[in-house]
Structure 1
Amino acid sequence: MAAEALTDAILSVDLPKAGLLSIVGARIIGRLDLSAREIPKVIRFRGCYFDDEVDLKYTDARSISFALSSISRLNLAATSIHGNLLLDEADIRDGVTLYGGSLSGSLSCKGAKIACRDWYALDASLCNIGGALLCGENFHAEGGVSIARAHVGGDVNFNSAQLTGHKNRPALSGQDTKIDGQINLSYSSSSGGVDLRDSRIGGNVECVETVLRNKAKVTLDASGARISGRLDAARIDADGGIILRACEVDALTMAAGRIHNDGGGAVELSDIQTGRSIDLRNVNILGHVTLVDGNVGRDLILSGARLKGGRSNVSVYAEGLSTRGGIYLTRSFESSGGLDFDNARIGGSFYGTKAIVRTNGGTALSLRGTVIGGDLELQSANLTGDITGRACDVGRAVILDQIEVASRKPPALNLPGLKVGSDFSASKAVIDGGISLAGASISGEASFIESEVKGIGDLPSLSLDRGELKGQLSFAHAKLHGQIRLHGAHIHAVLSFDNTVLTCPRKKKGEEIVALIMRHMIVDESVYAQFAEIGGAMDLIDARVGAWRDVKDAWPEVIAVVGFKYNAITGSPKVTIKDRLEWCNRNKPSFALQPFEQLAQVCRASGNEEDARKIGIEMQRLLRNHNKSEIRKLVTVPWSFTLRVLIGYGYKPWRIVVPFVIFAIIGTIIFSTLHADGHITTVPGPRKLDFNSFRYTVDLLFPVALLGQRGNFVVDSVAAWFSFFFTVTGWFLTYIFIAGLAGIFKRA
C-alpha cells in the first residue's frame, strides 16, 4: 500500500468519532505523513512494515499502536495523544521522537527494538505522559532513551531492558524529570550511563542486579534528585562511577554490588540526605567512596564490604558526615585505602570489629574532630597505617582489644585530646608505631593489659601528657618498647605497671635513657611500679601519688625523685630503710634533700621514728659531702664523720654517752697510774681527801661537774697535759651534745 493512499484512507474513511481503524500485516511504501492533522479515531497498526518515516508531529490523535511493526523512523514531536501509544515488540530502525509531546495514557515499548545513529533511540524529552512508561521485557534502545524534563504520571519500567548510548550521550537521560511513580531498572543493562540528575521520583528507584557500563566515567548520576522511596541497587554491577551528590532518598542499598571506577570516585554520596540507612554491605568497590557532609537517617553499613581506593590512597571520604545511627565496618570488612571520617557526627556507635584496612604508608582511619555518640569498637581489627583522631569525642567506650596497628608514620594510634565517656580498652593489642593520648580525658578506666606497643626510633611508645582518667590506668603484663610519657597527667584511681616490660632504644654512650616520665603527674591512689623489667631511668619530679609500691629488683640506675610526694611507700621483696635510702640516692646527676625529707615525713606519719632518724642522718652526711672541693673535703669529711658518729647530726644525741664513757674509763686508768707514780698529789692543808681516779676524770670531762676533785689535787707537768686534754675533750663533747639537742647541725 502506498503511503499517500493510506493517508487518504485514514482521513477519508467514514467511521464514527472515536472509532477504530486497524491495519494488520500491511507493507507501507513511502513516507506516511499525518503531521499537523486531527485524527479522532483509534489507529492500530499490527505487524505492519513501513519502508520510510511515519510522521505524526503536531498531530492531535487518540490512541495509536504500532505493535509488532517495523518502521524506519517514527516522529511524534509535539503530538497530543488522548490515550495510549503502544510500540510493543516494534522494530524502529532510526529512532522515535516524542519531544514535547503529550499522552494522556501510557507509552508502552515492551520488547521493542529501537535504534538511532545520530540521536536518542527514544526521545521523550519534555513529554507529558499521564500514565506509565513501560520499556521492559527485553526492550532494546541502541542510541539510548531520553525522558529529560519530562513528566510521567505513573511508573517508569526498564526492567530487563538493554540501553546503549552513543557519542557521549547517556543510555538513559532523565535529567530534571518528574516521575510520580517508581522507576525500575532492575535486571537491565546500560552502556553509556543513566542520568537522573535533579529528577523528582515519587516512589522507589529499583536497580536490582542492574548492569551499568561506562568505563572511567559515570554510570549512574542522580545528583540533586529527590526520591520519595528507596534506591535499591542490590547486586548492581557497574563499570564506572555512581553519583548521588545532594540526593534526597528514603533509603539506599547497594548490598553485594560490584562498582569499579579505577579512574576516580566509584560512589559519590556527598551531601546526600536519607531518611533511613545506607546499606553497602558485601559491596565490592574499586575507587573511592565519598560521603562528605552527608546526612544519614539511620545507619551506614559497610559490613563485609571490599573497598579499594584505586589510584587514591583513601577508600572512604566521609568528612562532615552525620548519621543518627551507627557505622558498621564488621564481618571482615576490608579496605585497601584509608577511611576518612574527620568531623563526622555519629549518633550511634562506630563498629570496626575484625576490619582490615591497608594503606601505602598513609592514615588507615581518620577521626579528627569526630563525635561518636556510642562506642568506638575496633576489636580484633588489623590496620596498616595510623589511626588519627585529634579532639575525637566518644560518648561511651573505646574498645581496641586485640587490635593490630602498624604504621610507618608515628604515632600509630594518634588520639590527642580524645574524650571518652566510659572506658578505654586496648588489651592484648599489638601497636607498632606508638600511642599518643596527650590531653585525653577518659571518664572510666584505661587498660593496656598484655599489649605490645613499640615506638619508632626515639619517639615514645605511649604518651598521656596532661591527660585525665577518672578510673585506673593499667599496663599489667604489657610489653612496651619506647618511653612512656605521663607528664602532668591526672589518674583518679590506680596506676599499675604490674609485670610490665619497658625497654628503650639504645643511645650514644653517656646519654641517659629515660624510660618513664611521670613529672608533675597526680595519682590519687596507688602506683604499682612493679616492673618485670625497665630499661631506663624514671622521672618522678614533682609527681604526687597516694602510695608508691615497687619492686627492688626492677629499680633503674637513675630515679629522678626531686619534688616527688607520696603518702605511703612499700616495696617487694622486703625493702629496708637502707634500701630505700639507696633508692633516694639514685636521684642523679643532681643532689637534693627533698627525697630524703619526703621519705622521713612518711616514716614519721606511720610512727616509724627510728627510720626517720636514719634518713635524717644520711641526709646530713650527703649534704656535707656534696659539691665540696678536694681541699675543703680534708676538713668537712672528718668533721661530718665526727658529727655522725657522736650525735648522728643531732638526730641521735644520746650517742654522745658512748665517748663520755670511753674517755671516763681511759681517764680512770691513766690518772690512777699517774697518782700512783706521784704525778698527782693532794693539796697541802687540814683536809685530806682520798684520790679517786674515776671521779677525777668525770670532774674533768663534765664542765658543770662539782665533784671536788680538781681543786684538791695538784698535778705536775706530765699529769697537767692529760688533765688539759680531758678538760678540752669534755668541753668539746658537751658542746657537741648541746648543739645537737638544739638542732644546730641539722642543715636545711
Structure 2
Amino acid sequence: MEINDLTPAEQRVWRAFATGTEVDLRGDGEQSVRAAVVRALLLNGPREAGEIAAVKLRGARITGELDLRYATVDSVVHLTHCRFEELPDLTGAHLRYLSLRDSGMPGLSMTRTHIDGSLRLTRCRFDGPVRLDGSQISGALFLEGVEITAEPGPRPVLQLNQISVDDDLCARGLRARGAIRLDGATIAGSLDLEDADLAHPGGFVVEAEAVEIGANLLARRLRAEGRIDLRGARIPGRVDLLDARLSNPGGTALRASSCVIGEFWLRRGPRVEGMLNLRRAEINQLDVEPEMLPAQVRMLDLTYTFLTPHEPPERRLPMLERDGEGYDPHAYEQLTAAYRRIGDDQAARLVQLAKQRRRRSTLPWYGQVWGHLQDAAVGYGFRPLRAAGWLLSLLAVGSLVFAGHHPPPLKAAESPEFDPVFFTLDLLLPVISFGQESAFAPTGGYRTLAYVLVVTGWILATTVVAGVTRTVSRQ
C-alpha cells in the first residue's frame, strides 16, 4: 500500500506507526480510517531502528473489516475511543498487547487468540456477541464497564469458555443481556464481577462449569437475573456475594454443587429468588445469613468446616428442612460439628434432637410411636433431666397413693415393714430391688397402678439407656 493512496488521517497514522506515536482524531470531527490500512501497518508497516512500532489510534471510525485471522502481530495495538463499522475478526491471531478501550463495534471474534500481554476492552460497547473462547492471555483481561446489547439467543453473548488468563479477569460493572459462558476457563488470579448487571430471564446468565480460579470470585452488588452455574468449580479463595441480588424464580438461582471453595459469603442482600444448590460441595467457611436463603436449598453431602455468623440453632435448622430431597442425616451432622468446633455444645445437642425428630417422620407407625415416647420422656437422651422429673412425679404419686392404702403382704410373718416410697421405687426401677415389691401384692385398682408404674419405669429406663448410648457413641 502506497502512502499517496491514503487519506490525510490515514497518512498521519502511517507516519506515526514506526515510532509508536499516538494519533488522536477526536478533535477533527469524525475521521475515517480504513481497516485495511490498519491491517497493512500491523503486518508489514514501516520500521525505524531503535524505535518500537505501534498502532496508537484514538477517536477514529474504522471502516471495513479488520481481518487479522491467524496473523502474527509483534507490535502493540491501541485502538481506543474508536467506532468499528464491521466486526473485527482476530481468530487464531498472535498479538503482543491489544487495547480497544472505550470503543464501539458490532461484536468481536477472538477465538483461540494468543496475547502475550493483556487484553483491554474496558467500557467497550458491543451490539453483537463477543467470542474469546479458547484464547490464551498471558496478562490480564479487562472487561470492566463493558456493555453488550446483543439480543439474547441460543448462543452466549459473551463466550469465555476454555479461556486461559494468567492474571485477573476484571469484569466489574459489566452489563450483558444474555448468557455468559466460562465453562472450563482457567484464571490464575481473581474473577471480578462486582457491580455487574447480568440478565437472561429463564435461562443461564453465567455458565461456569469446572472453572478454575486461582484466587477469588468477587461478586459484591452483583445483579443476576437467571441461572448461575458453578458446578465443579475450584476456587481456593472466597466466593464473595455480599449485597448480591440473585433471581431466577421457578428455577435454580445458583448452582455450586461439587465445588471446592475456600470461603462462601452470602450476606447483606435480599433473599435469593430461586433454588440454591450446594450439593456435594466442599467449603471451608460457609458464611451465610439465614435471611438470604431461599425456600429451596439443596445440601445433600455438603461439607463445611466453619459456619458463620454464629446463629442459634432455631435460625439454622430451617435451612436443613428446605431440602426437597427429604431427610438428610449428613446435613444435621455437619451443623452439629460446626457448633462443636466453636464450643457451643448446647446448640449441638439441639441440632441432634431436631435430627431425631426429623428422622421419626420417616419411620413406620410403630417406630413413630416409640420415637414420641423417647422424645416425651428424655428428649431422645438430650434432655436427661426430663427423666428425673418424670421419676420424681411418679414417685410422689405412687408414694401418696400407697401411703393411704397399704397393699397386703404375701407372707405376713416374713414381710418387712411396708414403706410406700421404697415400694414405689421398687416398681419404677427395673434393676434395683429394695425387697418391697416382692413382699406386697396390691389388689384392684392399686394393682393397675402398680402395673402402670412398672411399665413406665421400663420405658424411662430404656430411653435413658438409649440416650446415654447415643451420647457415648458421639463422644
User: Is the TM-score greater than 0.5?
Assistant: yes
Instruction: Report the residue type matching 2:94 in the other structure.
Output: R
Instruction: Say if 1:667 and 1:254 are closer, same or farther in 2 by CA, change over 3 A.
Output: farther
Q: Which residue of 374, 398, 401 maps to 1:670?
A: 401
Contact 2:77 2:99 in 1 (8 A): yes
Contact 1:354 1:380 in 2 (8 A): yes
Partner in structure 1 of residue 412 of structure 2: 684
Deviations 1:579-633 (A, max 9, x none): 211111111143321111111122222222222222122112212212x6xxx43
Q: Which residue of 731, 735, 743 maps to 2:458?
A: 731
Q: What SS does structure 2 have at the residue aligned with 1:638?
A: helix
The answer to which structure has the higher helix fraction is 2
Q: Equivalent residues in 2 for 1:23-422 (5 A)?
A: 206-207=3-4, 210=5, 233=6, 235=8, 254-255=11-12, 282=25, 284-285=32-33, 291=39, 294=43, 298-309=53-64, 315-330=65-80, 332-347=81-96, 349-357=97-105, 359=106, 364-408=107-151, 409=153, 410-422=155-167
How far apart in 1 are the matches of 2:37 and 2:385? 84
Contact 1:440 1:468 in 2 (8 A): yes
How far apart in 2 are the matches of 1:493 and 1:688? 76
Q: Which residue of 539, 544, 560 maps to 2:298?
A: 560
How big is the shift at 1:722? 2.2
Partner in structure 1 of residue 182 of structure 2: 437
Instruction: Say if 1:527 and 1:295 are closer, same or farther in 2 by CA, change over 3 A.
Output: farther
Contact 1:699 1:707 in 2 (8 A): yes
Partner in structure 2 of residue 618 of structure 1: 354
Contact 1:549 1:569 in 2 (8 A): yes
Instruction: Say if 1:275 and 1:706 are closer, same or farther in 2 by CA, change over 3 A.
Output: same
Deviations 1:258-309 (A, max 9, x none): xxxxxxxxxxxxxxxx988799975625787794994678434443321244
How big is the shift at 1:551? 2.1
Instruction: Say if 1:522 and 1:295 are closer, same or farther in 2 by CA, change over 3 A.
Output: farther
Contact 1:396 1:421 in 2 (8 A): yes
Instruction: Say if 1:637 and 1:706 are closer, same or farther in 2 by CA, change over 3 A.
Output: closer
Q: Which residue of 195, 200, 206 maps to 1:450?
A: 195
Q: What SS does structure 2 have at the residue aligned with 1:731?
A: helix
Instruction: Report the residue type matching 1:592 in the other structure.
Output: D
How far apart in 1 are the matches of 2:139 and 2:243? 29
Q: What SS does structure 2 have at the residue aligned with 1:461?
A: strand
How big is the shift at 1:453? 1.1
Q: Which residue of 420, 423, 430 maps to 1:693?
A: 420
How big is the shift at 1:724? 2.4
Contact 1:290 1:318 in 2 (8 A): no
Contact 1:540 1:562 in 2 (8 A): yes
Contact 2:263 2:287 in 1 (8 A): no
How far apart in 2 are the matches of 1:368 and 1:290? 20
Instruction: Say if 1:497 and 1:625 are closer, same or farther in 2 by CA, change over 3 A.
Output: same
Deviations 1:497-538 (A, max 9, x none): 11111122x5xxxxx411000011111234345433421110
- How many residues in Structure 1 have an aligned counterpart in Structure 2? 458
Partner in structure 2 of residue 551 of structure 1: 289
Instruction: Report the residue type matching 2:387 in the other structure.
Output: I
Contact 2:229 2:255 in 1 (8 A): yes
After the TM superposition, list the runs of 4 or more consecutive aligned residues in structure 1 that deviate by more than 6 angstroms.
274-281, 286-290, 744-747
How big is the shift at 1:725? 2.4
Gaps of 5+ in 2: 26-30, 48-52
Output the TM-score relative to the length of structure 2.
0.87
Q: What SS does structure 2 have at the residue aligned with 1:339?
A: coil
How far apart in 1 are the matches of 2:440 and 2:178? 89
How far apart in 2 are the matches of 1:412 and 1:578? 44
Deviations 1:86-106 (A, max 9, x none): xxxxxxxxxxxxxxxxxxxxx
How big is the shift at 1:448? 1.3
Output the TM-score relative to the length of structure 1.
0.57
Match status 1:703 vs 2:413 = no
Q: What SS does structure 1 have at the residue aligned with 2:128?
A: strand
How big is the shift at 1:692? 2.2
Deviations 1:9-30 (A, max 9, x none): xxxxxxxxxxxxxxxxxxxxxx
Report which of the two structures shows the higher radius of gyration computed on alpha carbons.
1
Contact 1:465 1:487 in 2 (8 A): yes
Contact 1:300 1:323 in 2 (8 A): no
Deviations 1:157-204 (A, max 9, x none): xxxxxxxxxxxxxxxxxxxxxxxxxxxxxxxxxxxxxxx8xxxxxxxx
How big is the shift at 1:384? 0.9
Instruction: Say if 1:545 and 1:336 are closer, same or farther in 2 by CA, change over 3 A.
Output: same
Contact 1:530 1:549 in 2 (8 A): no
Instruction: Say if 1:732 and 1:745 are closer, same or farther in 2 by CA, change over 3 A.
Output: farther
Contact 1:669 1:693 in 2 (8 A): yes
CA RMSD for the aligned pairs? Answer: 3.0
How big is the shift at 1:723? 2.0
Instruction: Say if 1:342 and 1:716 are closer, same or farther in 2 by CA, change over 3 A.
Output: same
Match status 1:425 vs 2:170 = yes
Deviations 1:134-172 (A, max 9, x none): xxxxxxxxxxxxxxxxxxxxxxxxxxxxxxxxxxxxxxx
Q: What SS does structure 1 have at the residue aligned with 2:108?
A: strand
Partner in structure 1 of residue 321 of structure 2: 585
Q: What SS does structure 2 have at the residue aligned with 1:640?
A: helix
Instruction: Say if 1:543 and 1:687 are closer, same or farther in 2 by CA, change over 3 A.
Output: closer
Instruction: Report the residue type matching 2:54 in the other structure.
Output: D
Q: What SS does structure 1 have at the residue aligned with 2:403?
A: helix
Match status 1:722 vs 2:471 = no
Deviations 1:15-67 (A, max 9, x none): xxxxxxxxxxxxxxxxxxxxxxxxxxxxxxxxxxxxxxxxxxxxxxxxxxxxx
How far apart in 2 are the matches of 1:669 and 1:378? 89
* Larger RCO, structure (CA 8 Å, separation 6 or more): 2
Partner in structure 1 of residue 50 of structure 2: none
How far apart in 1 are the matches of 2:280 and 2:44? 49
Deviations 1:643-701 (A, max 9, x none): 122233344455422222221122112222322xxx44584227651x32111100111
How big is the shift at 1:319? 0.7
Instruction: Report the residue type matching 2:100 in the other structure.
Output: G
Contact 1:530 1:550 in 2 (8 A): no
* Stretch of structure 1 that moved more, 460-469 or 639-648: 639-648
How far apart in 2 are the matches of 1:540 and 1:638? 34
Contact 1:294 1:320 in 2 (8 A): no
Contact 1:426 1:447 in 2 (8 A): yes
How big is the shift at 1:392? 1.0
Contact 1:649 1:745 in 2 (8 A): no
How big is the shift at 1:718? 3.6
The answer to which structure has the higher strand fraction is 1
How far apart in 1 are the matches of 2:57 and 2:178? 27
